[in-house]
Amino acid sequence: MLVDDDETTNFLNRFFLKQLDSNLPVFTAGNGMEAIEFLATDLDEDHLPCLLVLDTNMPVMNGWEFLDGYGQQFEADFKDKIVIVMLTALDTEENTALALANPNVMDTAQKPLSDISFKALIKKHFS
């Protein structure tokens, strides 16, 4: 699942993921609220994202606010099935430390992602 208000970023990230597996369902949300609403629907295993790429700065509900809501709304067994990677345009030690301090964030990455960075994320978290 791609959570970013930038449609171009979502388009490119979807393209990179589809290159890895053309049958992979890729869902998008334009902000954290849309993502929480999507995840709160009764998803079957085929529609539950295993990876959630989360931007930090978005309107309505940003990435940090999403993490707060996600942490409160969903049970541990649900959250254990999803790897959250926090994206930031500013790759600073402070942003990385803040993101990784959240128990639901498994990794961070700097925008823009590439096919190589997606391959590395997939290998790191799903191999």
pLDDT in tens, 68-81: 999 999 999 999 99
Q: What's the rounded Cα separation, in Å, for the pair 16 and 118?
A: 7
pLDDT in tens, 76-95: 999 999 999 999 777 678 88
pLDDT in tens, 36-70: 999 999 888 778 999 999 999 999 999 999 999 99
Q: What does the block give as tokens for 112? A: 């823009």
Please, are residues 25 and 47 in contact by the beta-carbon 8 Å criterion? yes
pLDDT in tens, 11-36: 999 999 999 888 889 999 999 999 99
Q: What's the rounded Cα separation, in Å, for the pair 64 and 35?
A: 13
Q: What's the rounded Cα separation, in Å, for the pair 17 and 36?
A: 21
Q: What does the block give as tokens for 79? A: 């959250």
Q: Is the pTM of this model over 0.85?
A: yes
String of DSSP letters for 62-109: -HHHHHHHHHHHS-HHHHTT-EEEEEESS--HHHHHHHHHSTTEEEEE
Q: What's the rounded Cα separation, in Å, for the pair 121 and 123?
A: 5
Give pLDDT, residue 24.
87
Q: What does the block give as tokens for 28? A: 């998008």
